[in-house]
């Protein structure tokens, strides 16, 4: 198949959708929907959060450099989309979406109860990249709903029904097609 030189912008690869909570100095919380969120280090556990400087949450992160990265489920897709289409400068997104804020254990921004996975992070670096700034957040506490634990008590995140963002679409993750190092197992045939 022939390849052509064509500019690809936006999100040409699937990315996780996260609801990131921030707060101002007075404690007023905000939610921003982000797709440019990802693990950048395993030890210490760090997650990168990429935000345009024009966004309200960017301003809040400069004021209070702490976040909670909440992983939404398909059940709250509409609320997740909504939080990415309006500004917290004008609207209280918790009130508008009926999402439930719960105090975090370490950081000031709240957890979102309806999200089964919540990662509390403290910003330890900010990189100015161009249209976005990348906030590197060290994860200082993590929470998971008990319903996501398998019979051995280990997290089974597929039970969370997370979804991804690709170009301008949200997609579900319905089918497991392999697992890490499955190619290293000896053949039984």
Q: What is the CATH number of the domain that holds 22?
A: 2.30.110.10
189 inside domain? no
165 inside domain? yes
2 inside domain? no
33 inside domain? yes
Q: Report whether pLDDT(145) > 60.
A: yes
105 inside domain? yes
**Structural domain total, the chain:** 1
| Residue, of 45 and 3, whose pLDDT is higher | 45
4 inside domain? no
Q: Encoding tokens for residue 180?
A: 């890490």
Domain that holds residue 21: 15-184
The pLDDT-based confidence of 133 (bands split at 50, 70, 90) is very high
Average pLDDT over residues 106-131: 97
Which of the 8 DSSP states describes residue 75? G
73 inside domain? yes
Does the pTM surpass 0.75? The reply is: yes
146 inside domain? yes
């Amino acid at each position: 198949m022939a390849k052509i030189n064509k500019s690809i912008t936006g999100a040409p690869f699937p990315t996780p959708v996260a609801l990131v909570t921030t707060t101002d100095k007075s404690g007023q919380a905000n939610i921003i929907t982000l797709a440019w969120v990802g693990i950048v280090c395993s030890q210490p556990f760090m997650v990168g959060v990429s935000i345009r400087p024009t966004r309200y949450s960017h301003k809040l992160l400069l004021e209070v450099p702490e976040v909670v990265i909440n992983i939404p489920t398909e059940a709250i897709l509409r609320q997740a989309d909504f939080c990415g289409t309006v500004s917290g400068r004008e609207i209280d997104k918790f009130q508008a979406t009926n999402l439930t804020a719960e105090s975090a254990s370490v950081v000031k921004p709240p957890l979102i109860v309806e999200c089964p996975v919540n990662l509390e992070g403290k910003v330890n670096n900010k990189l100015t990249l161009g249209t976005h700034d990348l906030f590197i957040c060290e994860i200082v506490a993590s929470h998971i709903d008990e319903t996501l634990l398998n019979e051995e008590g280990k997290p089974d995140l597929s039970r969370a029904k997370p979804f991804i963002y690709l170009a301008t679409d949200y997609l579900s993750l319905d089918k497991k097609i392999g697992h890490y190092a499955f190619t290293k197992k000896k053949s039984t045939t």
